[in-house]
Structure 1
Amino acid sequence: MRWRQVLTGVCDAFAGRFGRVEPRRAAAVFVTGLLADIEVKTCWQLAEQAGYGRPDAMQRLLYRAKWDADAVRDDVRQVVVDRLGDPDGVLVVDETGDLKKGVHTVGVQRQYTGTAGRIENAQVGVFLAYASRHGHTLIDRRVYLPKSWTDDRQRCEQSGVPDDVAFATRSELADDMITAAVKALVPARWVAADEAYGNNTRLRGELRKLRLGYVLAVSRDHLVPIDGGKTRCRADRLAADLPATAWTRRSAGNGSKGPRFYDWAWLADVGADGDPDDDGRHSLLIRRNNTTGELAFYRCWTPGPATLAQLVRVAGVRWAVEESFQAGKGQVGLDQHQVRRWTSWHRFTTLALAALAVLAICAADARTADRHSQPDMIELTVNEIRRLINVLLIQPARSIAYRLRWSNWRRRHQACAKRAHYARRLNLEFPP
């Protein structure tokens, strides 16, 4: 079956990164387990799903086994590019947060995260997605370390953060991933991102150096050079002064409920954003919700001529990263890692990207196969593909004796953890 070949092919792509056969097999089983229909995808559950008697092999894979997560990431990215690559591809950057308790998980602190929509105790990861006409998926990741971490080297050492890792803003992490993708010859012509990244002047400048066109959301108070760069005007003020004839209705792509139509206005010739000798084309794109009237603003740049239709398409493609986050968390447990250390986070997340790549490639193959053969059904979705993979490919162990052994193991392990927690709490309350 083609899907089995895809799963095997993705795992084989990075098999050579493991010097020993045990972690190599464990990695393949780990990726398969992330695709399995289990409630929580931690080392315990993945080991049980695979038929192991204990979680040691999975825990060793994330903690102590010798392998380079970044090298595996490179292999997974190449597999994605080989199947989904397109010269008109779009790199989409965004972040997502995982709510955490305590202070020991790498990168955790009280900070704003869009996952909760407010300031919470959370860990934030910055991700890069690749989107083309063939499909989309996540291809890179960075954990964000606040200054409260990078300024405390002892804390970093306890969590396994390398000594050469210094503080970097989320925009700098995004630039690092985009630059790495360009060096790896990922076929992309565009970059898209939300306001958190579009408002960053340095990131926009770095993208121009890479000769990547961009459609980056900016805030309503973003200052736009006009009159040949002599003056600057707020983006929302420019929108308010536009005549009715400046707006045109276009679709930003198809959504789950049909085409996503908005009203668009395009100021196709605004002043340079930085270097006045830049030979590219600067513009401001404005989107208006035709129901609520809500406005969104995009700072755009292209190394050569571009059309409104192209810019609108790229603005709409930005939602691919949101869909990838939803699939990553809902289908392969991207947010279910129960790890604290730097190395373990990168390893778990990399294997989750591999599992997500399997689903993205299978979805692309299904669209190609079903384009003319199933007019009375929708295309196979990532969610449905994972369900079918479980039914057709994954055979979990389900004997009663096996389940009872795992139940006993969990209860003993949890009893040990309970005793340790009680002892720690009593020592804090009544120190010797």
Structure 2
Amino acid sequence: MIAIASLFPRIEPRLQARKYLLALLSDLPKRNGWTIAEWVGDRQPDATQRLLNHARWDTLGVMSAIRRFAVAGLDHAAGPGVLAIGALDESGQEKKGSATAGVKRQHMGCAGGIDNGINTVHLAYVRAGSGHALIASRQWIPAEQVADPVAAVTMGLPLDLAFRTKGELAIDLLTDAYADGMSVDFIASDEVYGACTSLRHFLQEHAQAYVLRVRSSFTLTLGAETAMTCADVVAKHLKQKRKWTIRSAGAGSKGERTYAWAWIATASPVHHLLIRKHRKTGELAFHYCFIPIGRPVTLSRLVAAAGLRWPVEETFEFGKDLFGLDQSQVRLYHAILRHTVLVMAALAICAVAAAAARRRTDTQAPPPTHPDQAPPADPGMIPLTVAEIKRLFNAATTTTRSLLHAAHWSAWRRRHQARARWFHQRARLATAYALLS
């Protein structure tokens, strides 16, 4: 388990944090102060609210312990030679009113557009074929709230808090992670972070390879000092079909996620432009890449790194749907951070357990090789997932149903998912054959 007891000066908040963590791991449909207090057996929500709002404990120290636990656990499960990625992204939570720290009308991915809410920048640790977990988080606070002394006091903002862009918050997260010994092959991100010049310089100063998404208007210099946007590069140099290569960005639940890829050298020997094109829609995605001199650089390696950014979205899905990442009903800056940290702990426990069990619980039948292939008599089972680990944990610790009953239903679901996955893969083969004919 995660060693965090010494980070709580008093035993009462430590015990309350343990109860809070068990509630996050439970099957509660909503996780807030009231529902958690009722689930853990408290007479009122005061102790839960005190844990988040007023109790003395080292929140960032707990986050550091979670980070070391998650990285070590995923590394052990993955073994040597497997790509490790640090993925930067943000996650939102819709909020009402204007009293919550960081709340503002802004773009919210969870809302599909502009809405009232808060945004938090996250760093996820991803190990290819093993698993992924959140290992660092910082909430983005608008400049006007930082500058307003009344708002700062009301929202519980730290006295020394300075405004930081999302790219600068990403630098803070990476600084903490490097201090804890995190080592990754690549940093990956979406366009918000790829556009941050200071983040790119920070990574290059640390000799950290990266594959960062950038917009089509991003300008780079090709040979002979020719400055072009990414869109112009495609229009001028990639008109011919033979210049694109079909590669998989990784395995999905329905088969390989194949795209057309192109790799363009820039005037700098350490910078490259990686371009992904959707095979049906033609939609383009651009990745600005940095590979230090002496490091291996191949198209396959860059494609694999770019493809390993997507698990951070799955990590957010797990965090929200399974552990209540977006269900904090608190307003103060440090209370929101403490809820996030405890959710990170719950997610890390299940992610490391799933990674450790992955090889011995994956009994899926070999994938189909032809669209007319008959289904296997036994589809096997997909490996234990974070969701299944959580269900089994609940069966072993908090429910009246037997663990044997829970294990039966876990096996039934995993076998059903393996069968569905096999048929999805065969359907994709049929589509691929149709395109070639």
CA distance in 1, matches of 2:223, 2:247: 28
Farther off after superposition, 45-54 or 97-106: 45-54
Amino acid at match of 2:107: Y
Amino acid at match of 1:90: I
- 1:56-101 deviations in Å (ceiling 9; x for gaps): 2211111111101100000010111111136741110001111111
- 1:208-249 deviations in Å (ceiling 9; x for gaps): 111111111111111120114x12111112112312221110
Contact 1:287 1:296 in 2 (8 A): yes
How many corresponding residue pairs?
A: 378
Contact 2:156 2:332 in 1 (8 A): yes
Q: Which residue of 2 aligns with 1:381?
A: 385
Determine if the alignment matches structure 1 residue 250 to structure 2 residue 247. Answer: yes
Determine if the alignment matches structure 1 residue 94 to structure 2 residue 84. Answer: no
Q: Secondary structure at the match of 2:394?
A: helix
Q: Which residue of 2 aligns with 1:83?
A: 73
Determine if the alignment matches structure 1 residue 163 to structure 2 residue 159. Answer: yes
Amino acid at match of 2:135: I
Contact 1:81 1:187 in 2 (8 A): no
- 1:305-327 deviations in Å (ceiling 9; x for gaps): 31111110111111111000000
Q: CA deviation at 1:162?
A: 1.0
Q: Which residue of 1 aligns with 2:14?
A: 24
Q: Which residue of 2 aligns with 1:427?
A: none
Alignment of 1:4-403 (within 5 A): 9-10=1-2, 13-85=3-75, 88-133=83-128, 134-228=130-224, 230-241=225-236, 242=238, 243-267=240-264, 269-272=265-268, 281-303=270-292, 304-371=295-362, 376-395=380-399
Q: Secondary structure at the match of 1:215?
A: strand
CA distance in 1, matches of 2:12, 2:125: 32
Q: Secondary structure at the match of 1:148?
A: helix
Q: CA deviation at 1:188?
A: 1.0
Q: Which residue of 1 aligns with 2:416?
A: none
Q: CA deviation at 1:369?
A: 2.5
TM-score when normalising by structure 2: 0.83
Farther off after superposition, 283-292 or 387-396: 387-396
Amino acid at match of 1:141: S
CA distance in 1, matches of 2:380, 2:254: 17
CA distance in 1, matches of 2:337, 2:136: 10
Q: Secondary structure at the match of 1:161?
A: coil
Q: What is the Cα-based RMSD across aligned positions, in Å?
A: 1.7
Q: Which residue of 2 aligns with 1:409?
A: none
CA distance in 1, matches of 2:320, 2:193: 23
Contact 2:123 2:134 in 1 (8 A): yes
CA distance in 1, matches of 2:132, 2:222: 36
- 1:8-50 deviations in Å (ceiling 9; x for gaps): x13xx11111111111111111111101011110121112111
Q: Secondary structure at the match of 1:191?
A: strand
CA distance in 2, matches of 1:150, 1:115: 25
Q: CA deviation at 1:293?
A: 0.7
CA distance in 2, matches of 1:151, 1:53: 40
In the alignment, structure 1 segments of 5+ residues that lack a partner are 1-8, 273-279, 397-432
Q: Secondary structure at the match of 1:96?
A: strand
Q: CA deviation at 1:372?
A: 5.7
- 1:148-170 deviations in Å (ceiling 9; x for gaps): 21121221112111111011100
Percent identical residues: 42
Q: CA deviation at 1:385?
A: 2.0
